[in-house]
Amino acid sequence: MAERTLPFLDGLDALPDDALAAARRAGAARFDALGLPGARSELFKYGKLERLTGVPFEAAPAEAPAALPGWPAPDGAHARLVLVNGRYRPDLSDLAALPAGVTVRGLADAAEDVGGVAPATGDDHPFLALNAALATDGVALEVPAGSGELPAVHLVHVAAAPGAAPIAAHPRVLLFVGGDSTLSVLEHLVGAADGPAVFTNAVTEAAVGGDGHLRHHRLLTAPQQAVSLFQTRASVGRDASFDSTSLTIDGGLTRTDTRVGLNAPGATARVNGATLGRDAAHADHVTRITHAAPHGTSEQTFKSVLDGGARAAYQGGVVVERDAAKTDARQRHDALLLSGSAEADGKPSLEIYNDDVACSHGNTMGRIDRDALFYLRARGIGEDRARALLVAAFADAVLDHVAPGGVRTLMRRAAHRWLDMPEDAEDAEALDAA
Amino acid sequence: MLKIHDLHVAVDGTEILNGIDLDLKAGEVHAIMGPNGSGKSTLANVLAGRDGYDVTGGGVTFKEHDLLGMAPEERAREGLFLAFQYPVEIPGVATTTFLKHAVNAVRRHRGEEEVDAMGFVKLAREKGRALGIDDAMLKRPVNAGFSGGEKKRLETLQMALLEPGLAILDETDSGLDIDALKTVADGVNALRTEDRAMLVITHYQRLLDYIVPDRVHVLAQGRIMRSGDKDLPAELERQGYADLVNPAA
Ligand SMILES: Nc1ncnc2c1ncn2[C@@H]1O[C@H](COP(=O)(O)OP(=O)(O)OP(=O)(O)O)[C@@H](O)[C@H]1O
Ligand SMILES: [Mg+2]
């Protein structure tokens, strides 16, 4: 057997010779063939993967830490699904808010279609292949057609090592939203500030049926030693929509890689995100939206706010295929640099194979507006608070796209806590409603 | 209240103010008039603490404190208020949010209790209505897309909410229609008390018909060329600034 790219693939060779094991080994072979992206990889140009390869991660053991880190919950009625290091924990979950037709299954012991996990299909992204090889658990949530608007689902990824060794977890999340149903999910990554490093390599696969709507949110608040990679693969049906908003706050190396196929006429994708980073945080947002059918629209709005030595990159992609006439695709990234050593990169890109389209993209890099800062201070607002207000205004533009409700408030609170003005999130919502 | 002594200010090495003296006492209203580019806004900005100005000589005391050593927010909390000639647009910051932060910063400084979001909305709406500022405007981002007159009304609302001891109005009348001028002047006069002072910068006598000043100064070429009482503007209106700007040798 050829030498593995990453040591934690070795265990696969010992698995019994069944279909699942074969599929997992196929994932491993794909990963080995693709290799870890190197410095010359376009996709990982900005990512610092030595934070991954430089740490001896072990497969996450079955047992959870004695004490789990806590997490804030959204206001209002919602269901809770908890994964600890990639393992679904029904005992910590609460599904009572979900109506009868909605099903939730842990993937480890699910038979049939998603039994035991393996194919994370689609493109040949190395970390998708790695998840295919190593995912052994996760959760599938299925909303039947005609369910209307459901209560929010708070899907908590707890990343916390039980011992002293750094661990790797490979959660899989499957979201099926049938037609005429609206589901709002918040995938929320929480870690232990002082624990060993955790490598989370999550894959979320989503399918949205005709006239269905999936509002997908991510709040990634891992500690600085964490490596957190979140792949999303979504397929959107006729007149259906996939809205995604990812908020990355500090953390070590964090990446979201969101690929959406607008596969039927009239499908819509809004893929938005913000990074709030300081110190040595590094956050990438990678997107690829494929317009495969006519009359599709996609909008991407990304903001990076960076202080200290933090770095962020937005690598946006839009592909308009031959049949996708009347496509409307917009991408923009704006960065606000709060220190001299912070760095941002923005690289929107377009591949168009149809002439009848409207596409736009923009990328800006700026600093705090001195005149605005003076205006606020001239009214008695202290300099730090004045800066925070201007930063919040910049970043909130992303959260303003999120539908009002408990999920948005929770995300706003997290952002405003980073800005050291926690009470302001409540005010913003209250004043908005007044 | 405010004592300016032989104040010299330069911008990028060019002297803009060359020796301003002014003594503004509590209860008084002084007006400053003068040609374009004579340094009126420079004076106002230096008093409020804007950066980019080099004080090359002289000094300023405000309530007996050294004003120029204070940060802009400290000046504001101590009761100095500048109504900007060109209010700044701040996209993304809702006007109410901004006003609430400002009012609470000043209240904290005075040892008063802070107002909560709902209480503040009520207060701002009430004071706004008196100045012709509707609720929708308060929800919009600060000054963003406001008309010239709307910006000036918002400056006046801020003054009404912050209740400053010293208000410096830099051409608050310009851009206002006739009715708004009256409304804004009423707002200013409502704040006129024995323990407050005002410095009103304007080009027009009309405003001074509503806000009758105790003293009027003419600033030209970075210096106060002439001072007089409330009748000086009428004289200037007839004669213009020519004699002051190019004094006969
Ligand atoms: N930042 C700056 N850089 C260069 N020159 C400046 C700057 N600020 C002011 N000045 C110059 O200083 C002079 C005084 O400007 P100021 O704005 O104080 O005039 P003003 O009396 O308020 O005029 P107006 O009546 O038109 O408002 C002008 O010649 C102006 O161009
Ligand atoms: Mg001026």
The CB of B39 under 6 Å from ligand 1? The reply is: yes
B123 SS3 class = helix
Residue that wins the pLDDT comparison between B195 and B242? B195
Of the listed ligands, the closest to the CA of A371 is: 1
Longest dimension (CA), chain A: 73
Whether A286 and A299 map to the same domain: the answer is yes
Q: Does A433 touch chain B (CB under 8 A)?
A: no
Whether A425 and A318 map to the same domain: the answer is no
Q: Are residues A336 and A405 in the same domain?
A: no
For chain B, the straight-line distance linking the first and the last C-alpha, in angstroms and rounded, comes to: 36
Is B88 at the interface with chain A, CB within 8 A? yes
Scanning A378-407 for CB atoms below 8 A from B yields 378-383, 385-386, 389-390, 392-394, 396-397
Number of compact structural domains in chain A: 2
Q: How far is the CA of B198 from the centre of ligand 1 (A)?
A: 21
Cα angle B107-B112-B114, degrees, rounded to a multiple of 5: 65
A248 in any annotated domain: yes
Q: Do A378 and B50 touch (CB under 8 A)?
A: yes
Which of the 8 DSSP states describes residue A317? Answer: E
Q: Which atom of ligand 1 lies nearest, measured to the CA of B34?
A: 21
**What are the CA-CA distances from residue A357 to residues A13, A298, A300, A350 (Å)?**
49, 12, 16, 12
Chain B residues within 8 A of A397 when measuring between CB atoms: 92
User: Is A79 among the domain residues?
Assistant: yes
pLDDT tens for B177-232 read: 888 899 889 888 988 999 999 999 999 888 999 999 999 999 999 999 999 999 88
Asked if residue A185 and residue A308 are part of one domain, the reply reads yes
State whether A104 and A252 are in the same domain.
yes
Q: Do A377 and B49 touch (CB under 8 A)?
A: yes
Tell me which residue has its CA closest to atom 28 in ligand 1: B37
Q: A2 in a domain, yes or no? A: no
Evaluate whether A167 touches A59 at the Cβ level (below 8 Å). yes
Ligand 1 site, residue B217, Cβ cutoff 6 A = no
Of A318, A334, A367, the residue at which a domain comes to its end is A367
What's the CA gap between B202 and B207, in Å, rounded? 8
Residue A1 falls inside a structural domain: no
**Closest listed ligand to the CA of B222:** 1
Residue with tokens 């494929």: A290
To the nearest whole Å, the CA of A369 is away from the closest chain B CA by: 9
pLDDT tops 90 at residue B47? yes
The pair of three-digit structure tokens given for residue A31, joined into one six-digit string: 């990963």
Residues on chain B touching A383 (C-beta within 8 angstroms)? 71, 73
> Does the structure show a pLDDT above 80 at B52?
yes
Question: Is there a contact between A157 and A137 (Cβ–Cβ < 8 Å)?
Answer: no
Which residues are CB-neighbours of B122 under 8 A, at least 6 positions away?
A: none
Conformational region of residue A86, where left means phi above 0, alpha means psi within -120 to 50, and beta covers everything else: left
Residues of A in contact with B121 (CB under 8 A): 431, 434
Q: Which long-range contacts (CB under 8 A, 24 or more apart) does B130-135 make?
A: B130/B160, B130/B183, B130/B187, B131/B156, B131/B157, B131/B160, B131/B183, B131/B184, B131/B187, B132/B180, B132/B183, B133/B157
Domain-terminating residue out of A350, A367, A384 = A367
Residue of A380, A389, A430 with shortest CB distance to B93? A389
In this predicted structure, what is the pLDDT of residue B248?
Answer: 47
Does the distance separating the beta carbons of A430 and B50 come in below 8 Å? Answer: no
Atom number in ligand 1 closest to CA B53: 1
User: Does B16 contact ligand 1 (Cβ within 6 A)?
Assistant: yes
Of A269, A296, A249, A292, the closest CA to residue A413 belongs to A249
- Tell me: do A305 and A406 sit in the same domain: no
Clarify whether residues A357 and A380 are in a common domain. Answer: no
CATH class label, B2-245: alpha beta
pLDDT over 50 (residue B64)? yes
pLDDT computed for residue A350 by the predictor: 94
Residues A315 and A373 in one domain: no
The pLDDT value given to residue B239: 84
How many beta-carbon pairs below 8 A join chains A and B?
102
B71 close contact with A: CB closer than 8 A: yes
Residues A287, A356, single domain; the answer is: yes
pLDDT at A1: 39
**pLDDT mean by block of 10 residues, chain A; 434 residues:** 55 71 83 75 68 82 90 96 96 96 86 65 82 89 95 97 92 94 97 92 95 97 94 95 97 94 96 95 95 96 96 95 95 96 94 93 95 98 95 92 94 92 72 70
Helices (H), chain B: 40-48, 72-77, 95-110, 117-130, 135-139, 148-162, 178-190, 205-210, 232-239, 242-245
| Structural domain containing residue A414 | 368-434
Residue B91 has its nearest CB partner, among A371, A393, A424, at A393
- Please identify, among A337, A367, A397, the residue that sits at the C-terminal boundary of a domain: A367
Cβ of residue B92 lying under 6 Å from some atom of ligand 1:
no
Q: Do the chains contact at A385 and B101, CB–CB below 8 Å? A: yes
Residues A303 and A338 in one domain: yes
DSSP string, A100-151: TT-EEEESSS--GGGTT-----SS--HHHHHHHHH---EEEEEE-TT-EEPP
pLDDT band at B249 (very low <50, low <70, confident <90, very high): very low
- From the CA of B60, how far away is ligand 2's center (Å)? 20
Residue ranges of domains in chain B:
2-245
Q: Which strand (E) or helix (H) includes residue A39?
A: none
Q: Do A170 and A181 belong together in one domain? A: yes
Run of H or E including A287: strand A282-291
Whole-angstrom Cα distance, residue A327 to residue A355?
Answer: 9
Best probe of the B interface among A368, A377, A432, by most B CBs < 10 A, is A377
Same domain? A35 vs A94: yes
Residue A59 is predicted with a pLDDT of 85
Torsion of the alpha carbons at A369, A374, A375 and A380, rounded to the nearest 10: 140
For the residues B164-182, what does the mean pLDDT come to?
A: 91
Q: Nearest Cβ partner of A431 from B96, B105, B162?
A: B96
CB B72 within 8 A of CB A374: yes
What's the gap in Å between B42 CA and the centre of ligand 1?
A: 6
